[in-house]
Amino acid sequence: MGTGNIGMKIASYLKKLGMTIHGLKNHKMENVENSGLIDEYYYPDNLNGFLASCDYICNILPSTPATTGLLSGNRLEVCAFRKPAFINVGRGDVIDEDSLIHALNAGWISKAFLDVVPIEPLPHSSKLWEMENVVITPHASGPYFTDTLASVFLENLKLYLDEKPLNFQIDFGVEY
């Protein structure tokens, strides 16, 4: 879920493992759609079709009014046949905790790997801590973040000085 820079990087790794990649994206972007990494694209109007087709659902969507609660309620019931694993490395508010717990207990999804959760840090009282089919990791970018940030800054500085478009710009019209 999400075919921006991070999504395409993840897709490139998974493609090398021989996986078939389905991508959920908000709008058409020809440069991404012609990348050869995504085998089939889905759009928000066919979210149920996308979810039902997955063995793994990897959320990397940004937090926007359109994505907040996107998987909450009974949305994941369409996954009951395949029982995919849910991986959340995007934003925690794509699904509320009660809906996630219900989807796991109902068997709609088999496992959850959570780097992000709706409330961070996850309260000690959360039932997610007790669930055997849930893995929770600390939401941290890792030891190389400073080096990466410096590289991005220097590359964007060079682009700016050359009067070229910058990388990783936020489009306030779409809120990410």
**Known catalytic residue: 120?**
yes
Q: What is the DSSP letter of 23?
A: E
Query: Active-site residue 91, yes or no?
Result: yes
Annotated catalytic residue within 75, 82, 102, 139: 139
Give catalytic status of residue 139 as yes or no: yes
- Which residue is catalytic, options 40, 120, 155, 175? 120
Q: Are 128 and 103 in contact (CB under 8 A)?
A: no
Q: Is residue 58 a contact partner of residue 38, using CB atoms and an 8 Å limit?
A: no
Burial (CB count <10 Å: 0-12, 13-18, 19+), residue 60: buried
Annotate 102-139 with DSSP letters as a single string: HHHHHTSSSEEEES--SSSSPPTT-GGGG-TTEEE---
Tokens 């759609």 belong to 33
The Cα 32–Cα 75 span in angstroms is 27
Residue 59 pairs in a beta bridge with 88
- Active-site annotation holder among 30, 82, 91, 97: 91
35 — phi, psi (to 5°)? -75, -25
User: H-helix or E-strand containing 77?
Assistant: none
- Active-site residues: which are they? 91, 120, 139
